Structure 1
């Protein structure tokens, strides 16, 4: 009985203990469901979060004693806000939500989690300020908020978290200084505040962080000096204060006080004084980056730095001779070496041959180095970039350089090299940029350079070359940036093979002894922006074929023997500068374009000009009718034509509805190429009556249907039926017809047929029929989480990017007309069965050519610029003009989207932050934080991905003139793809 009474008396206590436990378990489950309800889950990461399963078995949930203690949901594609219910998970010790798309503020309820040790919200879109009451979370060990949009000041209260080991706040929008209270966190091992928009001085209190190992303060606006005490924290291995406005000197004993130093990054500041010789004691160092400062004195002994990989000292005031290179003989991991733009002298030692076999970058330009290039340079077979320019080097080029088969860039201009330019350069077939300008080379230009089929730019100007221009060089269709042979003694004619340079932007053959006529084949160089032929003995007339050079901005034909009149087409080009002075030209001066700007046109020293604008002060031309008289005659001719034409149109319209609906569409014959002849009835049957089940996609101007033609082969096609009720639909139909009708390319959607007819109710019907692409759009492969659309590999993305670039390049330069797409975006890129990408949807296309009929030209130009938000370049206004550089911008955004898996309209991009700036600010060191998390990290070749993203950044520059030309994009991507597959 006594036991029974004791049991009964204990029951209230038992219920008191057990009821809250059940309630708390239920609270955890309800809190998790509340978290889910505030999120979008496109990848289905939270599918298991339902009441049919115990919450402790839900994905990303870790429990102990049936209570939630950890939430791990990184890289899950989650979108939305972080619910305040997070504060109800009272036993949480770890929250890991990095690399998602969370937005909005960090809920203050998170400060209720007093057991919290790890909080990682990095690489999201959180806004607002850091909650100040985090001081309630006294167990916190790690705070990671990097790559968000957090603002305001870093809370001073963080200094009262006694166990904090890591503060990772880089790449946010904070303001103000570093709180001095951070120095109170004596447990801190990592302080990462890079690119946070902080300012002020670095607080002295940070010197109290005696356990600090990783210090990143780069990319801010810090002023003053680095507190001396920071250089005495022996545990530091990563020290980055680059890109600020700091000054002062590096302590002389840094190599002793920082024995564990692996990276010293102080570039782009105002540091001065010598580079301490004690740096040689830091035997673990891998990165020394001291560029763009005011360091003086000699280069210290580097003999003991056996692990050094990157040594950057460019743009300082260092004075030394180059013998210090000998001290790097033991640095077997050295990859990049840059001491350019200093005051270095002496000669390159023979010990250059002892540098690391892994070295791929060697920059010594803009110094005072003299002597020969050592024979041993041929041992550095992995060199990729060499810049020897702007020195006092001389002598002959050593034949051993023929072993540098990996060279992509070789700059040796502005030296005193002499003799003949050896044919060995023809063996360097990977060369993309070769400058040997401003030397004393003589003899013939070696024809072996024609083997360098990857060349993008070649500059041999300001030498003593003689003989003729090798035809082999003119056949290098890869040359797209510049070909400069100016200021030599070359003679003979300009080879007709110059027409092979279709992608070339600048050609300079000036100040030579070239004669005969300007070749008509020059008209094929449709990408030319700058053409300099002045100072030769050219004769004959300016060829009319040059009218096809629609992108020409500067043309200099001065100081030749050209004759005849000035072609009127020069007034139609977009020339910003034209120099025809000192020739034998005569006749009427045009009055359009560049000829209206006195400061932009130069016509002195010719025989006899007349006409032109008043500012040119030429006498009026005799026997020439006034413009009013011409206009009067023109109207007298045009009015009867217009009247008759109008009557014809009325008659044609009146007979329109009498056409047989079973007859093939008559518009097919007007396209100019052989297309299938399909009637409205054919298309109605092929699409199962334009059934919704056949719809592949819906756009503004119509729907696209999958169709099976009744042609005996069951050919599958895609039919785009135009919605003529939408304003501008007919114009997009015409634009697409004209753009696609006369072109064929592997990377452009092929037009199978065009139907411009009436349906069975006598309503207008217009449709375009394309080849069917089995794998749908690129947009679906990037952003659709359907199992049918698996993640694209790196190689696949590179192949697709190259396909797109090649398609655009062909549009711009590969057909008889320059076609501007105007609406490039992933949904307009289609993938066939073999994942070959094709550019499609030419509804906003414009054909920039004077070869087209006037009716078609006007129809193109009247299309309003619509495009798609995020992909439209900034220079396109409501009434702006489409341009090829606009397409380049759109391609750049697509490329960045392909490798980050972030749309340009992502909520992460607000205010001044856009996809372009998001990527450019992260390169090169923040690559892993921005690339698509679906990419196989093990397959990544970091330097190649950086190069790809750099292409996207260059293409999407705000200023159109700064954008990378599409022909160069194709060449660069092809090279990257080849390297990636090796």
Structure 2
């Protein structure tokens, strides 16, 4: 049952507790008030329950803990007055738990530690008190993020945090935690972002932080930390943002690595620090002298060694200038993109001099090359924008800004980037992504290319199950961008060429050159983006309201997704020559729905349904599911934004279609394997 995003008001009727066969219930983003009926515990088959962003009050019923099939629970954005029920510990299949901004009180129940399948936990911005239970920090399945920020939690941070070796983001900021930072945090080797600011932590930064090789953001500001700033921060190559401000650090500020960029590091509010680059505006470090005004023996040795080293360096430099031509070394980074550090020289070597044999494609904004990084022999895709196009530079900045803030299995992962100059002192920028061996979805949907033989063309076709899986991958990525990010993101250019496929045919959404962030702390579905920049996106996939100068919105992404979904199952581009006047892909599919679906399906799917390799049961199941999928695509691509589905509803519906496809008891595992491999 999905009635989310409809502005429904009133109280939740008690009769809803009689729908015991329900597996999915999405009531979120309405104006439903009153208490949640305790009888909701009768819906023992529920797997997804979304009640977030309403006006529910009172206590959360303990009976929700009886929904032991529940995998996703969203209660965020309500006005509860009670505690988190300890019965939630019975939800052992739970993978997503959202209860942020819900006015919850009391302590975090240790029973949550029994939810050993949790991937993410968000309890941000409540009125929670007490200590963080060590049981909650002993859930090894947590991989996406744990957010306990902006509460009133006290006590020390449990050493059990070292159990979270696969966690990507940890946020415990804006609490009242105290004591030393546990050294076991160094075991959380998958961390990409760690927020610990605005607490009362004291002592030194643990030396074990040297193990956090994937760390991109670290915020330790507004605590009571002391000691020197560790030199190993210079060696954390992925570290993009380091905030150490308003502590009591002392001594020399390093000048290498992340410390070379003042926009990436903040050390203000530490009066005993000295040195660093000029932009930090710190005092110079002065050596101590003895009472007689003489340097100590140790200082003399240091100065002597330094003088010898400088002399050696000068002589070496003069020799190199004499025997070699003067060569300009390209700058590896610039302030506009302090997140990533990759030199032009490294990329030149990785792509064999940006050779044509490594050229994967050319577009209006630039070129993409295949390359191999020296460091780990990793195969990568290097995107080099054409800086003669002013929009290319903006696109580069947008992608950096978005991809440094997002992390999801269905998004193309940005590994590193370069922003500097080449050997001729020309501006040079590049983005380095994980290489997707199966190319783009565009190449699989429309594989006909001059010079390619028929046998190769037919081998690059997708069956129904593969298309459905990729459609779910894309919707999961959009759901994360719209609802799972700290600041929601609108992609603005969703189309088949921007969906890449890995070796397992998993879909990854990429190309965030037009993407935009929502303003922080807003619940609106759209935000003002000046229309003077023209229609955003690609013709055929762009929401019609954008053409009238309307605001960028998540519903615009949903429209693009709907068109993409219809294209995936019809095999027709939205710009096909048959579409003219008032006929477009949406109206074309809707006119044939549902009685003439076979006439508008991709011929490859028609052949699969009618083929001899599958049983009658499988064919019947696929045919029914095709109708359901097209219904989702038609609903998403409605002309009016208010008539489109919410992306969370889309994901839930497609997941349900997939489960229904494989539910038939008459279809054995052997046939499923045959179909998946056909």
Instruction: Name the TM-score, length of structure 1 as normaliser.
Output: 0.37
Native 8 Å contact 1:823 1:844 kept in 2: yes
Native 8 Å contact 2:565 2:630 kept in 1: yes
Native 8 Å contact 1:751 1:771 kept in 2: yes
What does residue 469 of structure 1 align with?
61
> How has the CA–CA distance of structure 1 residues 467 and 669 changed in structure 2, closer, same or farther, with 3 Å as cutoff?
closer
| In 1: Cα distance, 2:47 partner to 2:568 partner | 29
**Cα deviation, residue 942, structure 1:** 1.9
| In 1: Cα distance, 2:650 partner to 2:584 partner | 22
| In 2: Cα distance, 1:865 partner to 1:474 partner | 49
**Cα deviation, residue 678, structure 1:** 2.1
- Residue of 340, 350, 357 corresponding to 1:693: 357
What does residue 945 of structure 1 align with?
626
What does residue 740 of structure 1 align with?
403
**Cα deviation, residue 850, structure 1:** 3.0
| In 2: Cα distance, 1:733 partner to 1:516 partner | 44
What does residue 219 of structure 1 align with?
none
> Deviations for 1:457-493, whole angstroms, at most 9, x for unmatched residues?
79x999xx9985347379967578x99999xxxx953
What does residue 290 of structure 1 align with?
none
Question: 1:876 aligns to what SS in structure 2?
Answer: helix
Native 8 Å contact 1:731 1:863 kept in 2: no
What does residue 414 of structure 2 align with?
751
| In 2: Cα distance, 1:417 partner to 1:850 partner | 36
- Residue of 900, 904, 928 corresponding to 2:574: 904
Native 8 Å contact 2:23 2:45 kept in 1: no
Determine if the alignment matches structure 1 residue 784 to structure 2 residue 373.
Answer: no
Native 8 Å contact 2:25 2:48 kept in 1: yes
| In 1: Cα distance, 2:466 partner to 2:104 partner | 50
> How has the CA–CA distance of structure 1 residues 477 and 846 changed in structure 2, closer, same or farther, with 3 Å as cutoff?
farther
- Residue of 526, 535, 539 corresponding to 1:869: 539
> Deviations for 1:30-55, whole angstroms, at most 9, x for unmatched residues?
xxxxxxxxxxxxxxxxxxxxxxxxxx
Determine if the alignment matches structure 1 residue 981 to structure 2 residue 673.
Answer: no
Question: 1:755 aligns to what SS in structure 2?
Answer: strand
**Cα deviation, residue 453, structure 1:** 1.5
Determine if the alignment matches structure 1 residue 682 to structure 2 residue 271.
Answer: no
| In 1: Cα distance, 2:11 partner to 2:417 partner | 59
Question: 2:592 aligns to what SS in structure 1?
Answer: coil
Alignment of 1:263-342 (within 5 A): none
Determine if the alignment matches structure 1 residue 708 to structure 2 residue 376.
Answer: no
What does residue 772 of structure 1 align with?
435
| In 1: Cα distance, 2:470 partner to 2:510 partner | 14
What does residue 271 of structure 2 align with?
none
Native 8 Å contact 1:474 1:495 kept in 2: no
Native 8 Å contact 2:330 2:420 kept in 1: no
> How has the CA–CA distance of structure 1 residues 781 and 469 changed in structure 2, closer, same or farther, with 3 Å as cutoff?
same
What does residue 372 of structure 1 align with?
none
In structure 1, the gaps of 5 or more residues are 1-384, 386-412, 525-543, 547-646, 649-657
- Residue of 427, 430, 435 corresponding to 2:23: 430
| In 2: Cα distance, 1:415 partner to 1:707 partner | 56
Native 8 Å contact 2:351 2:371 kept in 1: yes
Alignment of 1:455-604 (within 5 A): 455=49, 469-470=61-62, 472=64, 478=72, 493=82, 495=84
Native 8 Å contact 1:731 1:860 kept in 2: no
Question: 2:369 aligns to what SS in structure 1?
Answer: strand
| In 2: Cα distance, 1:925 partner to 1:744 partner | 41
Native 8 Å contact 1:806 1:970 kept in 2: yes
Native 8 Å contact 2:337 2:419 kept in 1: no
> How has the CA–CA distance of structure 1 residues 485 and 469 changed in structure 2, closer, same or farther, with 3 Å as cutoff?
farther
**Cα deviation, residue 431, structure 1:** 4.6
**Cα deviation, residue 449, structure 1:** 3.7
| In 2: Cα distance, 1:774 partner to 1:841 partner | 17
**Cα deviation, residue 691, structure 1:** 1.6
Question: 2:48 aligns to what SS in structure 1?
Answer: coil
Question: 1:911 aligns to what SS in structure 2?
Answer: coil
Alignment of 1:64-213 (within 5 A): none
| In 1: Cα distance, 2:342 partner to 2:399 partner | 17
Question: 2:655 aligns to what SS in structure 1?
Answer: helix
> How has the CA–CA distance of structure 1 residues 878 and 709 changed in structure 2, closer, same or farther, with 3 Å as cutoff?
farther
RMSD of aligned Cα (Å): 4.9
Native 8 Å contact 2:366 2:384 kept in 1: yes
Determine if the alignment matches structure 1 residue 665 to structure 2 residue 336.
Answer: no
What does residue 600 of structure 2 align with?
930
| In 2: Cα distance, 1:973 partner to 1:818 partner | 22
What does residue 39 of structure 2 align with?
445
**Cα deviation, residue 727, structure 1:** 2.2
| In 1: Cα distance, 2:481 partner to 2:517 partner | 9
What does residue 454 of structure 1 align with?
48
| In 2: Cα distance, 1:874 partner to 1:501 partner | 35
Determine if the alignment matches structure 1 residue 959 to structure 2 residue 623.
Answer: no
**Cα deviation, residue 843, structure 1:** 0.7
| In 2: Cα distance, 1:661 partner to 1:849 partner | 39
| In 2: Cα distance, 1:811 partner to 1:434 partner | 20
| In 2: Cα distance, 1:708 partner to 1:763 partner | 24
> Deviations for 1:293-344, whole angstroms, at most 9, x for unmatched residues?
xxxxxxxxxxxxxxxxxxxxxxxxxxxxxxxxxxxxxxxxxxxxxxxxxxxx
**Cα deviation, residue 798, structure 1:** 0.4
| In 1: Cα distance, 2:23 partner to 2:641 partner | 29
| In 1: Cα distance, 2:554 partner to 2:567 partner | 20
| In 2: Cα distance, 1:742 partner to 1:415 partner | 37
| In 2: Cα distance, 1:717 partner to 1:942 partner | 39
> How has the CA–CA distance of structure 1 residues 501 and 917 changed in structure 2, closer, same or farther, with 3 Å as cutoff?
farther
Question: 2:401 aligns to what SS in structure 1?
Answer: helix
Question: 1:948 aligns to what SS in structure 2?
Answer: helix
| In 2: Cα distance, 1:667 partner to 1:659 partner | 24
Question: 1:808 aligns to what SS in structure 2?
Answer: helix
> Deviations for 1:174-207, whole angstroms, at most 9, x for unmatched residues?
xxxxxxxxxxxxxxxxxxxxxxxxxxxxxxxxxx
> Deviations for 1:55-78, whole angstroms, at most 9, x for unmatched residues?
xxxxxxxxxxxxxxxxxxxxxxxx
Instruction: Name the TM-score, length of structure 2 as normaliser.
Output: 0.52
In structure 2, the gaps of 5 or more residues are 2-9, 89-94, 109-121, 127-148, 152-277, 280-325, 611-617, 664-678
Alignment of 1:33-72 (within 5 A): none
Question: 2:384 aligns to what SS in structure 1?
Answer: strand
What does residue 181 of structure 1 align with?
none
| In 2: Cα distance, 1:960 partner to 1:972 partner | 19
| In 2: Cα distance, 1:974 partner to 1:415 partner | 26
**Cα deviation, residue 877, structure 1:** 2.9
Q: Which has the larger radius of gyration?
A: 1
Q: Per chain length, whose mean CA-contact separation is higher, i.e. which structure has more relative contact order (CA < 8 Å, sep 6+)?
A: 2
| Number of aligned residues | 412
Native 8 Å contact 1:892 1:956 kept in 2: yes
- Residue of 358, 376, 389 corresponding to 1:726: 389
Native 8 Å contact 2:41 2:65 kept in 1: yes
Question: 1:875 aligns to what SS in structure 2?
Answer: helix
**Cα deviation, residue 729, structure 1:** 1.4
**Cα deviation, residue 929, structure 1:** 0.7
| In 2: Cα distance, 1:434 partner to 1:812 partner | 17
Question: 2:573 aligns to what SS in structure 1?
Answer: coil
What does residue 476 of structure 2 align with?
806
Native 8 Å contact 1:901 1:931 kept in 2: yes
| In 2: Cα distance, 1:847 partner to 1:709 partner | 31
**Cα deviation, residue 830, structure 1:** 0.5
When structure 1 is superposed on structure 2, of 944-953 and 466-475 the one drifting more is 466-475
| In 2: Cα distance, 1:868 partner to 1:429 partner | 39
